[in-house]
Structure 1
Amino acid sequence: MKRLFAFIVFSAGLYGCQSTQNYKYQPTKLDNITIVRYQEMADNYQHLKFDRYNSILTVIYQLPASNLVWQPEQIEKQTRHTLCVNKKDTIYRLAHEDNIGVKFVYKGQGGEIIGPWAIDICEPN
């Protein structure tokens, strides 16, 4: 019994504070016209890819070539700003228009992959 209790406490400590890690994108059903539109757009930009089967737009950022390693907090802050705050950003408009998933890929030293996220990640818990 003590082992079970210790395991539960340990598990709650591991997973209780990771709000974005537990987020799971549910693929959005898009019509064929919307799929073709996103695919054409992604084909026109080197930093965009579109997964038509999961309705995920992948945005690839090249991190600045500097000696500073980007911290995960900075990357997540920029990602949330793009997806939730900056209403003039093209990615913001596209994600809110069709409720697609957006995956951010940060290449370079300290880079990482965040997402896929949908706009409901912007809603307060």
Structure 2
Amino acid sequence: MNKLFAFIMLSTGLYGCQSTQNYKYQPTKLDNMTIVRYQKMADNHHHLKFDRYSSILTVTYRLPATNLLWQQKHIEKQTHKTLCEDKKSSIYRLAHEDNIGVTFIYKGQGGKTLGPWAADICKTS
């Protein structure tokens, strides 16, 4: 029994307390018209996917470089700009006006996923 408890505590320490994703996104209940609108938008762009049940829009970026570790600051800056600063961006409007969650996936060797977020990522703590 003690070995099992020790294993659970070790597993929680290794996997359960990762600090990379500190978001507070809660799925938003959408009406059918809104769901159809977002699904249509996602269907028209090969790098967008809309999860109607979780109200999350997934945006996939394919990076030219093979090693994402070198681009960590660039990735975080681009994500923050898209979600918090670029008020003309449709993704900005989705997150701030409609409370749609946004997940960013950066593809490359050792791909990176950020999110999902709503506008809560823009609040300074």
Band the TM-score falls in, shorter-chain normalisation: 0.7 to 0.9
Greater Cα shift, 104-113 or 31-40? 104-113
For 1:40, the aligned partner's letter is K
> In the alignment, what sits opposite 1:47?
47
Distance 2:74 2:65 in 1: 16
Distance 1:115 1:57 in 2: 10
> In the alignment, what sits opposite 1:87?
87
Distance 1:67 1:55 in 2: 31
TM-score by length of 1: 0.76
The number of equivalent residue pairs is 111
Give yes or no for contact 2:61–2:106 (8 Å, CA) kept in 1: yes
Give yes or no for contact 2:68–2:111 (8 Å, CA) kept in 1: no
Q: How does 1:1-125 map to 2 (within 5 A)?
A: 18=19, 21-65=21-65, 69-125=69-125
Distance 2:104 2:67 in 1: 22
Distance 2:32 2:68 in 1: 43
Measured against aligned partners, the alpha-carbon deviations of 1:33-67 in whole angstroms (never above 9, x if no partner) come to 10110001101110000000000000000112467
Give yes or no for contact 1:70–1:110 (8 Å, CA) kept in 2: no
Identical counterparts, % of pairs = 72
Measured against aligned partners, the alpha-carbon deviations of 1:6-38 in whole angstroms (never above 9, x if no partner) come to xxxxx8xxx6xx4x6232321011111101100
Distance 1:68 1:98 in 2: 31
Gaps of 5+ in 1: 1-10
Distance 2:47 2:110 in 1: 18
More strand by share: 2
TM-score by length of 2: 0.76
Gaps of 5+ in 2: 1-12
Distance 1:67 1:98 in 2: 34
For 2:109, the aligned partner's letter is Q
4+ runs of 1 displaced by more than 4 Å?
A: 66-69
SS at match of 1:94: helix
RMSD, aligned α-carbons: 2.4
Greater Cα shift, 21-30 or 34-43? 21-30
